[in-house]
Structure 1
Amino acid sequence: MLCFDSPRVFGYQQKRIFNELYNDLESIGGTILVVLDEIDSIGSDDDILYELPRARSKLDLDVKVGVIGISNNFKFRDNLSPKVKDTLCEEEILFPPYDASELRNILRQRASLALHDDVLESDVIPLCAAFSAQDSGSARQALRLLRKAADIAENEAIDEGKTLISEDHVREAEHQIQRQQVVEGMHSLTRQGQYVLLTVCQLAAKGEPPERTKIIYERYCEVLRSHGSDPLKRCRVHDHLSDLSLHGILRLVDSSGGRGNYNEYELDVSLSSALDALENELGEQNSIRETAKRNRILD
């Protein structure tokens, strides 16, 4: 991947890199579509998006150049420079997330290449597809889940002689992936951020629906007092809630009421996964688990 944010790229000036690119395009000729996958990774370094559409008129090239950008981030264009926005004259095509049926087809095709026909129980692929369809509709997520389930089954086969990938392996894979997601997200959290997550877990254990920031803050203050610490100001707790949402640990729910708009938050991972990660930092959370079991949130 070339980076254009400095005068030189791999020892060459940016101007020379573009000239080499133009020469290659003209040698091909005709109509060329340049496809940039994950185009949002380009960040603020968007010179190539300015140069390519203008190449034909600017340099009198005998070639027509178009750019196709692929991204899951619908807002990445907001960060493009004004000159790029003016040059692109883009047209947007939205592809909806995969549904469960489409994901099953994708998984079956990939599984036929990677796995023996007789190692999958019949409900494995439908369950992987269902988990992903309910979450993001991402084929990558569904494939990751199937691969993790296969890894777990393979380890069991070594230890216990079992050979089939089952529904239980998929559910364990989902739990491990979510737990790892929380653990990775918590690396950037301070102790106060961990207490904010603990507060949301307490609310989730009681089976309460998404809660407003105001309610979360009131409960957070109680948690801090019970731990002998001073709570942060409400605005700082809101920042921690936003961080947890950005890491995919909490889900932000936009709501409106009689007094205007407000934010609500809830767990975007399983309660068990969040508690497993918290216990590594804050110790056992048996009281929350017991509350969740009484309310049939945890088995």
Structure 2
Amino acid sequence: MGLEPFSADDPIFSHESVLRDTYTPDDLVERDRELQEYQNALKPVIKGEDPKNIFLYGQTGVGKSIATEMILDRLDQDQQQYDYLDIKSLNILCKGLNSSYQVSVKLVNEFRPPGEKIPPTGYSPDAVLEMLWTHLTELDATHVLIVLDEIDSIGGNDDILYQLPRANSNGNVPPEETKIGVIGISNDFTFRDNLDARVKDSLAEEEIHFPPYDAPQLENILRQRAKKAFEDDVLSNDVIPLTAAFSGQESGSARQALKLLYKAGDLARSRDETTVVEDHVREAEPLVEAGKVEDELASLPTQSHLTLHAVLRLSEEDELPVKSNVIYQQYQQAAEAIDADVKTDRTIRDRLSQLSLKGFLDVDERNKGSQGGSYYLYDLDIREDVVRDILEDDDRMAPLYGSETRTLGSF
């Protein structure tokens, strides 16, 4: 059977891009409280005063990044009526940046043209910070709001999260030149709890929690998007309630709910059907769930990938379940092999706990009997091939799976 002609005819979707991650809605449904808190926290900026440092937290897919984009766009529009304001914002995605040094380099390069960017190594941390302070001081702006999205990628190396929020008060950037505000966004609840006390005090002057959506909220979000995404009358009445119910029970993520609705519609289209029904949603659900696991794995920071790599190697050698100290030995070798920072065993135990909370690892508490106390045994709770495929696709982790690296120790 040969190829069929491409056709723009589509009985299911009118604007399917409305269901994708890249789409920004005009309104953020079911987030009125969070948006009001967010605007209140930025109120000093529009008055020309020192900005508060804001910390947003909540799982993926609950509106944190979209809310930030919408709020800053509105702030940019509204500042035009005030002659005394020139507010600029800088958005840095910290995914893949696992140290304060890397974040500092990224920030410096945001101010530099292509031919003058600094390399990721070769400077002392203090020298990079001095470059950053110079750029911020010389910037022609009254305020700079620096958004650090997915700041949990930085892990324990969080000095930049102390330095940036205090750039004015510490005299690094004179406030009469440029007032600095930091907006930190994290998908990891434990990251916030594990922050150094001085960092937490600096970064989280104002905390805004974005909780998971429940099923009725997801239903409202889906109905808003469906009006633009689908042709009229192609969704049967039970499709959106069922999609919202599945996603509300499983994750509370609008992103996952939209993916499920999109996949259900795509299944109907692929079969030349003109109506999306409940069976399409039920068939799409395990497909989307498998994709969710892979997306979650891929989005983990390098230190979590290294921890998973250590568990994977032990699994391949049929040595699981094991204690954390055995995993840590494997982790150390892997981190050194790719020239990554070697974290403490306590930090890696925290990573193991986070991975178990996400459902990637199984943890079993064992008692020491008459000696008292307890210890934990860790095991892989997802298929080896799924983990291996994700880690091999990660540029930072890829050398651990190359032929030149397999000859090293247990690699």
Whole-angstrom CA distance in 2 between matches of 1:164 and 1:68? 44
Q: Distance in 1 between matches of 2:200 and 2:355?
A: 32
| CA 247–49 in structure 1, closer or farther in 2 if over 3 Å, else same | closer
Rounded Cα–Cα distance in structure 2 between residues aligned with 1:105 and 1:67: 32
- 1:143-158 matches, cutoff 5 A: 143-157=258-272
- Counterparts of 1:150 and 1:103, CA distance in 2: 17
Deviations 1:207-229 (A, max 9, x none): xxxxxxxxxxxxxxxxxxxxxxx
Where does structure 2 lack aligned partners over 5 or more consecutive residues? 1-91, 110-116, 119-126, 298-307, 328-351, 366-371, 387-411
Superposed CA offset, 1:116-140 (max 9, x none):
2222111111111111110121111
User: Aligned-pair RMSD on alpha carbons?
Assistant: 4.7
- Give the number of equivalent residue pairs: 227
1:67 equivalent in alignment to 2:163: no
- Give the corresponding residue for 1:294: none
Cα pair distance change 1:236/1:29, threshold 3 Å: closer
The residue type equivalent to 1:147 in the other structure is: Y
Aligned residue among 163, 175, 182 for 2:274:
163
Equivalent residue runs for 1:1-299 within 5 Å: 1=92, 5=101, 11-12=117-118, 14=128, 15-24=130-139, 27-29=140-142, 33-57=145-169, 58=171, 59-62=173-176, 63-78=178-193, 80=195, 84-85=199-200, 87-88=202-203, 90-157=205-272, 162-180=273-291, 235=322, 245=356, 248=359
CA gap 1:64/1:72 in 2 versus in 1, 3 angstroms: same
Change (3 A) 1:104 1:181: closer
CA distance in 1, matches of 2:159, 2:288: 38
State the SS of the aligned residue for 2:288: helix
Q: Looking at secondary structure, tell me which structure has more helix per residue.
A: 1
Read off the aligned partner of 1:149 and give its amino acid letter.
A
Distance 1:233 1:251 in 2: 10
Deviation at 1:104, TM superposition (A): 0.9
CA distance in 2, matches of 1:251, 1:236: 12
Identity %: 50
Q: Distance in 2 between matches of 1:94 and 1:16?
A: 33
Could you list the runs of 5+ residues in structure 1 that have no partner in the other structure?
195-229, 278-299
Shift of 1:172: 1.0
Aligned residue for 1:92, secondary structure, equals strand
> Structure 2 CA distance, aligned partners of 1:147 and 1:92?
33
Contact 1:43 1:79 in 2 (8 A): no
1:48 Cα offset (Å): 3.8
How has the CA–CA distance of structure 1 residues 155 and 21 changed in structure 2, closer, same or farther, with 3 Å as cutoff? farther
- Post-superposition CA distance 1:62-112 (Å, at most 9, x none): 254332322221121355456534533534332321111111111111222
Residue 128 of structure 1 aligns to a residue whose secondary structure is: helix
- What is the distance in 1 between the residues matched to 2:211 and 2:187? 11
SS at match of 1:87: helix
SS in 1 for 2:209: coil
Q: Deviations over 1:165-198 (max 9, x none)?
A: 111111111111234556887x96759859xxxx
Instruction: Report the CA distance between 1:54 and its aligned residue.
Output: 1.9
Assess if the C-alpha contact under 8 Å between 1:123 and 1:167 holds in 2: yes
Change (3 A) 1:242 1:152: farther
Instruction: Classify the secondary structure of the residue corresponding to 2:242.
Output: helix
2:319, 2:209 → 1: CA distance? Answer: 41
Letter in 1 for 2:274: T
SS of the aligned residue for 1:75 comes to: helix
| Partner-residue secondary structure (3-state), 1:119 | coil
Task: Tell me if structure 2 keeps the 8 A contact 1:50–1:88.
Answer: yes
Is the deviation greater in 61-70 or in 104-113? Answer: 61-70
> 1:40·1:73 contact (CA, 8 Å) conserved in 2?
yes
Distance 1:45 1:106 in 2: 37
Tell me the TM-score normalised to structure 2 length. Answer: 0.43
On the 8 A contact 1:22/1:55 being kept in 2, the answer is: no
User: In structure 1, what is the Cα distance between the partners aligned to 2:137 and 2:285?
Assistant: 47
Q: 1:110 to 1:178 in 2, by over 3 A?
A: same
Query: What amino acid is the match of 2:142?
Result: G
Q: How far did residue 262 of structure 1 move? A: 10
SS in structure 1 at match of 2:269: helix
**Residue type of the alignment partner of 2:153:** S
- The two structures have a TM-score, normalised by structure 1, of 0.57
